[in-house]
Amino acid sequence: MPFDISMHIAGLNLRNPTMLAAGILGMTGLSLRKVWNAGAGAVVTKSISFQPRLGYKNPTIVDVGYGFLNAMGIPNPGVYEYVEEAKIAISEGELVIIVSLYGNTPLEFAKMARIVETAGVNAVELNLSCPHVKLGGMEIGTNPTIIDKIVKTVKKHINIPVFTKLTPNISDIKTIARAAEDAGSDGIVAINTVKAMAIDVESGRPLLANKYGGLSGPAIKPIALRCVYEIAQSVNIPVIGCGGITDWKDAIEFFLAGASAIQIGTAIAYKDVNIFGEIIKGIKCYLKRKGYNNIKEIVGLSHT
Amino acid sequence: MSQKFKNIRRRNVHIEDIIEETLNVKTILFRDKFCQLAKPGQYVMIWIPGIDEIPMSISVRNRLSLSGVTVEQVGEATEELFKKTLGDIIGIRGPFGNWFQPNTGNVALVSGGTGIASLFPLIETLIKTSAKIVAVLGFKSLKEIIFLNRIRKLLSDKRYHRIIVTTEDGSYGQKGLATDVVSSLLKKETFKMIYTCGPELMMRRVFDLAEESRTHIQVCLERIIRCSVGLCGSCFIGEYRVCKEGLVLSSEQLRQVKDEFGTFKRDFNGVKMHFKTTH
C-alpha cells in the first residue's frame, strides 16, 4: 500500500502537505497547473489586487548568495482578469488552489475574496505582510487591530477557508497570530519575506529598483522556524510553515516545530518544480524510517 | 549551492569596446568568463544602475576574450545603455536560458532585424559541425543591416553556404520579406533544421511554413523577464518559462503553445497583449 501523507487542514483535503508559496510562478493558470502536475498538494497564486498593478522596474530580484532579495511590487492583472486564469487552473479538476489577496481596505479584501470564491477556488490567503509595498502589506500586518478588521470582514463575506500570512518584521509575532485567530482566521501562514536590502559598491546604489525588498531562501529558514514554533505555541488553528525550505529535512523541521503543511518558493530557483516530488519522497522515507503512520504524529513534536 | 549558481550572481564589468553597427544599434563588449563560455542563444541580464535591468542575447563570445550584446535603441533602458561609453560600468548576471541545438547537414537560419545578433553565435558553432547553411537575413532597409560582413566572413565557403538578404524597401538584396524567401526555399529543398530569431509574427510565419513542410524548427522567443531564474512567472508561454525553459523552443514545444505563440504575450502586470499584424 502506498504510504499516505495526505493532510486535512482547515477543511481542505490535501493529497500531501506541500504547497507552492505565493508570489512564485502563479501568474497564469497554466503555470499553477505545471506546479500541481509536479506534485504540490496545493498551489497559492501570486498576490492579487483589486486594480491591475505593473509592479516595480527591474532589478526586482537579487541573488545574495544565501537566498534572494526581491521587490516585485505585486504585479498582477487585477482580480477580474485574474479569475479567468484561476478558472483555467481549476478546469482540470482535482487541483487545490488558494488565492493570495492584497488589498488596501478590509472591504476591498472582502470584495476580492467573494469574486474568487464565486470562481470556485478552494481558499484565500491574506497577504498582510508584503515588506515592499507602500500601502497595505506589512504596515497593516503589524497592527493587531487592523488584522482583526480585515480577517473579520473577509470571514463575514465568504465560506471558504481564510489563511492569514504574517510578516516576521515585528517584535512579537505571537500577538498578530493570536489576533488573526481571534478574528476567525482558519490558519496562519508564516512567514513572508524579511525586509532587507543590498547595495552595489561600485555605483553606490541600492541594487533593487525599489531599494528595499524581502529576503527569502535558506538565509531566513531559522527565522521562519522560530516564528512557526512560537505561533504553534500560541494558537490552536493550523500553521503553514514557509521560509527557506529547500529539502525534506527542512520540511520535517517545520512539522516538528508545529506546522501542518509547508510552502515552497525560492528553492524552485535551485531545484526547479521537481523539488515537490523530492520533498514528498523524503517526508515519506522519514516517516517510514521513524515508524510514524502519518504527518499528524510529528506536528509540533519538538514542543514536548 | 553557491558554487553551482555563481553565474546568476550579479557582477560589474567595464565596457571595453563598442561597435557602432548602425545609427541606433551598438554592440557593447565586456570581459566576463561566464559569458565567454555562453552557448548560442543564451542571454544575460544587463543592469544600468538607477534605470532598469533588461535581458539581452549574447551576440559576441570570445572576440579577443571579450563578450558582448547588441543593443537597439528602443526604450528608456536601451537609451541609457546607448549613452554609456568605454570604461563605464554595467552590471551583468547570466548567461541564462537554454540554447540552440546544433545540427549537421542542410540547415536554414532566418532572422528579422536585430534578431540576427542572437543567431550569430550559432553560426560560429554550426560551421564547426560541418553544416551547410542558408542564412536568410531580413531587414527593413539598407541602413538597418547589421552583422552582414561578419557573417560573410564566416560563411565564405560558397560551396556549402549561402546568404540571402532581403529588405522591405528593396534598398539592398531582394525586395520583400525573409518569410517569402523561406516559403520558396522550402518548396525546392529540405532542411534538417530551421533556426529563427526576429519579430514574433515573422517567427510564427516561419513556424507555420516549417510545419507545412514537416521541417524541425528552433525559435528564439522574447517575453518580459524579471527574475531570469524561473521564479517570478512573468515570462510564461503556455507551461514554459521563457527565462529558463527558453529562450529557444522546439517544434514540439511550439505545438503545445500554438494558441499563444504569435498571438499574445503578457505585459508587466500579466495582462495579455496581442501582437499587431502589420503585413
Give the Cβ contact number of residue B264 at 10 Å: 15
Kindly state whether A200 is in contact with chain B, defined as any CB-CB distance less than 8 angstroms: yes
Task: Test B52 with A57 for CB contact under 8 angstroms.
Answer: yes
Class of domain B106-274: alpha beta
Is pLDDT above 90 for B183? yes
Nearest-CB residue to A58 (from B53, B89, B270): B53
Is pLDDT above 70 for A61? yes
Average pLDDT value for residue range A114-123 = 96
Is pLDDT above 60 for B91? yes
Kindly state whether A77 is in contact with chain B, defined as any CB-CB distance less than 8 angstroms: yes
Q: Which of A211, A65, A209 is nearest to B54 (CA)?
A: A209
Class of domain B6-96: mainly beta
Average pLDDT taken over every residue of chain B: 93
pLDDT of residue B278: 57
Instruction: Find out if CATH 3.20.20.70 is the number for domain A7-55+71-196+216-303.
Output: yes
ipTM of the complex: 0.90
Average pLDDT value for residue range B94-105 = 94
Is pLDDT above 50 for B277? yes
pLDDT of residue A4: 81
Nearest-CB residue to A59 (from B47, B234, B241): B47
What is the share, in percent, of chain B residues with pLDDT greater than 90? 88
pLDDT of residue A138: 64
Contacts of A57 in chain B (CB under 8 A): 51-53
Task: Render pLDDT for A165-181 as a digit per residue (tens, 0 to 9).
Answer: 999 999 899 999 999 99
Is pLDDT above 70 for B3? no
Q: What is the residue extent of each domain of chain A?
A: 7-55+71-196+216-303
Contacts of A70 in chain B (CB under 8 A): 227, 232
Q: What is the residue extent of each domain of chain B?
A: 6-96, 106-274
With cut-offs at 50, 70 and 90, classify the pLDDT of residue B62.
Answer: confident
* Angle separating helix axes A221-234 and A173-182, nearest 10 degrees: 50
| Distances, alpha carbon B223 to alpha carbons A273, B122, B248, B261, in Å | 20, 21, 12, 11
Structural contact between residues B58 and B68, judged by C-beta atoms closer than 8 angstroms: yes
| Distances, alpha carbon A275 to alpha carbons A203, A264, A295, in Å | 37, 9, 19
Q: Which of B33, B25, B236 is nearest to B117 (CA)?
A: B25
